[in-house]
Structure 1
């Protein structure tokens, strides 16, 4: 009981920092929260950490966690903004609120990428990165754009902080959603999802994260994001299938998908997307339980964990490489890193992200008062 009380107090303090904005009222006028979706987002973030920690060997299809992110984003953004963005004032507020939500951590992610590149050069003097390329890549990263030149420092589309690629497509999907929101019906959402799915199937292996397959990220995010919007529309109108399962089963199902031993891509993406949608449907319908608060904590830290884990993995691997014991026992530092990144994410969320977001919201409120 004491632990739950501490967590509830933490949640109140950081409530504005919960990654999934679920503040919109449902049809009854009451606030409807999706704690299980928060938890699934946190679990997905940790799967991405494991994917990069073990370089695809432990969970070959861990990148499917990103597709879950896209679906969850579509569902929750539609839940929070679908009605408000139909008027000019609401569209402007949507853009501002998404900027406040996303950019503070993106700024840290981009700055951290520069710091990591400089650290690499300082400890790898024999094989340094080209500082001119680093400067160009950094400048683009600060405005969330990829550097796709052949002289990039590595194979990734966001070479200084590779996880940023999905945030680029997240922003693209947000802007597209804003532009076409008034035309969206169940039919058009089905067509958009199908168009994105066909695009993914045609382009083959799942893409977006590498310079060579960056364009493949566009149909991928369209399929996932608008499928999430579709699920929310079906839920709102009472037509969402009533399947449900507890979060332990859903987390295990996501892990099972990530551990499929062959590469998911092409036509195999169709049943995989269906499985991910089923996980989200079950999460939406999941009945509230006291232990959901613990999973909600993972949702609380998921965004910082996702954007910062590339740096912490680099540090962990550097320490392991230069330790006689750890260099032969990779599991131990990897496990400790998985725990540590949660606390790092919490600290960054509590002492940087939330204060910055609150400061930006305060500035916005003052500007509104002056214009009245």
Structure 2
């Protein structure tokens, strides 16, 4: 039988691969990678992040939030996980705009368009994707971090208000999120700043439900998992490559099946995904996701200066050279992400967790003294 693990390394590796595919989706290079249907629909892999986040958060915190204090600690930990890197990248974008202002090296007016100063407050507060603006602002991919923070708040409120009815409420809200996207979002699941929260709520709560099913149900046999892993992975790749229009709303359901299958980490594909380089990608996935647009922005400035832009894409005149360039940019993004993970993500998270422990210890001393008096 397969053990119920508390660490999901394989799912982490899958998240790293999805982050790479999101980079290729955004990468403005006329390469073979850009021509792949899997890449052209790479925005759907953000829904994998939402479902996986719901699964992991439910696994870690469903039994640990019973009071307002518990909810507060949970939310502070989540802020400590996502906000330091978000702020570092936002500061880098501001510095880039200041360089535009000081050195006039680019034709784009500084602090204009999606990087106007008035958008900084909503980005700092991580509320920029709740319909406040009519387009993405500053570090565009951070929209998903904004709505995911909203999902964390919703998760904590549901456990505080109705812990015994969490499952039916989650089902209802997930269906509501899917229906809102299906009915009102002009581009269905390719929605961000306007209907991003219903999209995220749908995927996140579906992940919570998958975790409950996975934890409560008997483990599938190892032989069954051995077959389900490649089948579910191939089905997910085929779906993302082919999905169009309203059919994209099925994305969280497809990813939910994959997460349920791979959570047990028992098949041959899981063993392949457990390779150290893929596990490293999983660790760096948040940094990859958050840093790649900054790298792409600087790259486009240089490309315009060098005159290698064709139809808003970088083109060296040879698709094979474009492929090599795309891989080089990807390698640079991954290398930069390893550094930001080591020097920003990890210290920021550890500092917040350490502050919480010190605060709880200070609060516990008077109680302990009163009990021993």
TM class, shorter-length = 0.7 to 0.9
User: Does 1:101 find its partner at 2:110?
Assistant: no
- State the Cα distance separating 1:370 from its structure 2 match: 2.4
Equivalent residues in 2 for 1:19-168, closer than 5 Å: 32-54=6-28, 58=36, 59-121=39-101, 122-125=104-107, 127-130=109-112, 134-146=116-128, 156-157=135-136, 159-168=137-146
Q: What SS does the corresponding residue of 1:98 show, helix, strand or coil?
A: helix
Residue in structure 2 matched with residue 367 of structure 1 by the alignment: 359
Correspondence for 1:9: none
The reply on whether 1:170 has 2:153 as its aligned counterpart is: no
Alignment correspondent of 2:258? 279
CA contact (8 A) 1:165 1:208 kept: no
> Measured at CA, do residues 276 and 364 of structure 1 come closer, stay the same or move farther in structure 2, by a change above 3 Å?
closer
Q: Secondary structure at the match of 1:285?
A: coil
C-alpha root-mean-square deviation of aligned residues, in Å? 3.2
Cα distance in 2 for partners of 1:146, 1:65 equals 21
In the alignment, structure 1 residue 339 sits paired with structure 2 residue 317: no
* Structure 2 unpaired stretches of 5+: 309-314, 366-373
Q: In structure 2, how many angstroms separate the alpha carbons of the residues matched to 1:115 and 1:244? A: 49
User: What does residue range 116-265 of structure 1 map to in structure 2 within 5 Å?
Assistant: 116-121=96-101, 122-125=104-107, 127-130=109-112, 134-146=116-128, 156-157=135-136, 159-181=137-159, 182-204=163-185, 205-206=187-188, 214-238=193-217, 244=225, 253-260=235-242, 264-265=244-245
Query: Higher helix proportion, which one?
Result: 2
Looking at structure 2, the residues matched to 134 and 270 of structure 1 have their Cα atoms a distance apart, in angstroms, of 32
Q: Deviations over 1:61-94 (max 9, x none)?
A: 1111111110000000000000101233321221
User: Residue by residue, what CA displacement relative to the aligned partner does 1:295-334 show, whole Å, maximum 9, x if unpaired?
Assistant: 2211100011101100111223344444578743432221
Q: Say which structure, 1 or 2, has more relative contact order (CA 8 Å, 6+ apart).
A: 2
User: What's the TM-score once normalised by structure 1's chain length?
Assistant: 0.79
Cα–Cα, structure 1 residues 239 and 222, in superposed 2: closer, same or farther, change >3 Å? farther
Q: Is the 8 A contact 2:206 2:252 kept in 1?
A: no
Task: Report the TM-score, using the length of structure 2 for normalisation.
Answer: 0.78
Structure possessing the higher radius of gyration over alpha carbons: 2
Q: What is the aligned length?
A: 335
Distance 2:283 2:305 in 1: 33
